Structure 1
Amino acid sequence: MTRALSRIAAAGTATAALLIATATPALADSDITLANHRGYMTYIDSVDVFKICDENPDGHGVHGLVHEWGAGTRLHIDDGGDAGCDKAGYNIGSASYRMAFWWDGGESVLYSKNFSE
């Protein structure tokens, strides 16, 4: 009986360790990118930074918003007219957030899925 209980405990421990090992990488991989042929906006979860890049020097820039449901816009970031990309930090909490990204030249707004910490 003791031997059977030891086997069950060992199997339970191994199963728990396997579930933790396989779940951890999926949780860490939560960066989000919205992109079109004009540029992109990325949320880098590990450092709570938003990066936006205008990739088409056509006289128009790109804009992005971080919107918190029920509270409104928390961050506006844009890029265009200068070299390189722009970045801004915003501490994402447990509320539900969504990114919006668009090009000033008149294309549709792109929206991310909802996300939180």
Structure 2
Amino acid sequence: MHRFLEKGGNKLGSFNHYDAEPDTFSVCDLHPNGAGVTGEIQELILAGSKYIWVTRKKWDDGGDVGCDYVEFNIREKGVYMWELRGSGEYINGDLKE
């Protein structure tokens, strides 16, 4: 899976999921504008009587332009979402094994 964060027709960054064991993810800054990008993996959990989103992994690209990688095992029965932020913009979506 590869998703792109865009602003004004420019690709600012990407969030990537490489389905391997363990699951590997990357965030990449694609636009040299002095700002990096940040990725998050969140899981929906039951807390008392309500469901809440909990951040399980959060990382950045390490600065302006470039990529950084993390490993995180997505459980088959878990409910997850991903998020990519940068330059005041963000995108997110469902994350499936």
Tell me, in whole angstroms, the C-alpha distance in 2 between the residues paired with 1:52 and 1:83.
Answer: 10
2:29 corresponds to 1:54? yes
CA RMSD of aligned residues (A): 1.8
Q: Larger % of strand: which?
A: 2
Specify every segment of 5 or more residues in structure 1 that has no aligned partner in the other structure, as ranges: 1-31
Tell me, in whole angstroms, the C-alpha distance in 2 between the residues paired with 1:96 and 1:44.
Answer: 18
Specify every segment of 5 or more residues in structure 2 that has no aligned partner in the other structure, as ranges: 6-10, 46-52
Highest Rg: 1 or 2? 1
Normalised by the size of structure 1, how large is the TM-score? Answer: 0.63
1:68-100 residue CA offsets vs partner (Å, 9 max, x unmatched): 112611100111426631000001102011101
Q: 1:88–1:114: structure 2 CA closer, same or farther, 3 Å change rule? A: closer
Tell whether the 8 Å contact from 1:53 to 1:86 is kept in structure 2 after alignment. yes
Q: Larger % of helix: which?
A: 1
The match for 2:50 is none
Relative contact order, CA 8 A, sep 6+: which one is greater? 2
Identical counterparts, % of pairs: 34
The match for 1:99 is 82
Q: Quick one: which of 24, 45, 51 aligns to 2:19?
A: 45
Over 4 Å off, 4+ runs? none
Tell me, in whole angstroms, the C-alpha distance in 2 between the residues paired with 1:67 and 1:91.
Answer: 12
CA-CA distance at 1:113 after TM superposition: 2.2
Normalised by the size of structure 2, how large is the TM-score? Answer: 0.75
